[in-house]
Amino acid sequence: MTTRIQVEVGKPAHGGHCVARHEGRAVFVRDALPGEVVVAEVVQDDADARFWRAETVEVLEASPDRVAHPWSDAGAGGVGGAELGHVALPAQRRWKQAVLEESFERFAGIPFEGTVHAAPGDDAREGLAYRTRVSAVAGGDGRPTMTVPGTGERRTLTSMPLATPEAEAALMGATADPGTRIDVTATSTGEVVVTTTGREARRLWLNERVEHSAGELGYRVRAADFWQVHREAPRVLVDAVMSRVLEDGPVLDLYSGAGLLALPLAAQGRPVVAVEAADGGKAPAALAANLRSRPGAEAVGDDVRRFLVSAAPERDWTQASVVLDPPRSGAKARNIAALAALGAPRIVYVACDPVALARDTALLRESGYDLLEADAFDLFPMTHHIETVASFALR
């Protein structure tokens, strides 16, 4: 039997839901907006649970920020991947601003004073047509499907409007053996590829171009390599990092992927050490390819933790800028401690998770760094994700 409750919806929480209260218990409600009154179906109603999760099934009093979901396959009861589609685009940014402010207040103990900026062109495209990478799983008839959150049910896609038109067309035209993952990559140079195995994706070399404030750069990237998803993200993040590192001196780029952030710094002729573990400790192929012709730039295939405690202390980083772009879980205590021990005067932290950033901010502050500023970029419209760039100075 399912439990339905009527709740007044409170503020947004990290993860794409809003907080409500029911009989003294916190309930995380999806597909709702702050200030709304909704009927929600509880999806986890364990009597002992500290909090419940619930899905909106009826909106009794709608927020003025509620809009029709732009993707017919998603929204309440539909596939995941666009959990803020029912929220007007400016209100999505206010939502993310509120999450950042709360994360900093709770986990960093200081206010978040930045702003959530739209990526260039997103307002004109209404927050759609931005993803250059999309993935799905082939259903029973071979066509692309995505999962309905919390159910495990797979639905065949009829469209994917978050993707660029080229990526959407490739995804919708793709078929594969049932159960196979389908990955679409549409590069900035017009290449569009569909891969269905990791082996194939590791063999397929592609070309990206990034036009940033200080010039234009070409990158070699395999379909399997990490590359920023939003069509404008490479440019936005390169500019954000370049304006925050020290004007000169060496750079240590940790979690460097294919070298998106390392290459423009190496192109300035400064010594760059870039560390990436994607190729399992072997030379990271894309990173090495992108830094090959840059004297003074080094591509290191290693785990960041291992590098920080073994190779890094043998060098002098006291004039260096560290660029840190960890996965969603953040850098965490042991990495922050090892990093702080290097004594680099500047750290530029690119974060895809506001709570992880706020926790790491607290750790950096305890380890002798001051937060200079932090600013945010809405590089994942229609979702709860947000990219934040923060800079820290050694006290």
Ligand X SMILES: C[S@@+](CC[C@H](N)C(=O)[O-])C[C@H]1O[C@@H](n2cnc3c(N)ncnc32)[C@H](O)[C@@H]1O
Query: Do residues 242 and 214 touch, judged by C-beta distance below 8 A?
Result: yes
Q: Tell whether residue 61 is among the known ligand binding residues.
A: no
Chain mean position to CA 282:
25
Instruction: Count CB neighbours of 167 within 10 A.
Output: 25
Instruction: Count CB neighbours of 58 within 10 A.
Output: 12
Residues that bind ligand X (CB under 6 A): 226-228, 237, 255-257, 260-261, 275-278, 303-304, 325, 327, 352
Q: Is the dihedral of CA 225, 97, 253, 251 positive or negative?
A: positive
Which one is catalytic: 342, 352, 362, 376?
A: 352
Question: Comparing C-alpha atoms, which of 98, 179, 165 is closest to residue 132?
Answer: 165
Question: Comparing C-alpha atoms, which of 346, 354, 348 is closest to residue 387?
Answer: 354
User: 88 or 277: whose CB is closer to ligand X?
Assistant: 277
Question: Comparing C-alpha atoms, which of 171, 103, 99, 191 is closest to residue 380?
Answer: 99
Q: Tell whether residue 319 is among the known ligand binding residues.
A: no
Shortest spacing between CB 254 and ligand X, in angstroms: 7
Shortest spacing between CB 392 and ligand X, in angstroms: 17
SS3 27: strand
| Residues of the chain by 3-state class (helix, strand, coil), percent to 5 | 20, 35, 45
Q: Name the residue type at position 241.
A: V
Q: Name the residue type at position 215.
A: G
Shortest spacing between CB 8 and ligand X, in angstroms: 37
Shortest spacing between CB 199 and ligand X, in angstroms: 18
Q: What is the rounded distance in angstroms from the CA atom of residue 290 to the CA atom of residue 267?
A: 11
Among all residues, whose Cβ is closest to ligand X? 257
Told to judge if 352 belongs to the known catalytic residues of this protein, a careful annotator would answer yes
Instruction: Count CB neighbours of 248 within 10 A.
Output: 11
User: 34 or 259: whose CB is closer to ligand X?
Assistant: 259
Shortest spacing between CB 79 and ligand X, in angstroms: 24
Shortest spacing between CB 183 and ligand X, in angstroms: 15
User: 174 or 324: whose CB is closer to ligand X?
Assistant: 324
Q: Name the residue type at position 48.
A: D
Task: Look at the chain and count its residues.
Answer: 395
Query: In sequence order, which ranges of 274-353 are alpha helices (DSSP H)?
Result: 285-291, 304-309, 332-340
Shortest spacing between CB 261 and ligand X, in angstroms: 5
Chain mean position to CA 82:
14
Q: What is the rounded distance in angstroms from the CA atom of residue 17 to the CA atom of residue 56?
A: 10
Q: Are strands 116-118 and 369-378 parallel, antiparallel or unpaired?
A: parallel
Query: Do residues 74 and 81 touch, judged by C-beta distance below 8 A?
Result: yes
Q: Tell whether residue 122 is among the known ligand binding residues.
A: no
Query: Do residues 264 and 333 touch, judged by C-beta distance below 8 A?
Result: no
Q: Tell whether residue 255 is among the known ligand binding residues.
A: yes
Residue ranges of the annotated binding site for S-adenosyl-L-methionine are 228, 255, 276, 325
Residue ranges of the annotated binding site are 228, 255, 276, 325
Residues carrying an active site annotation? 352
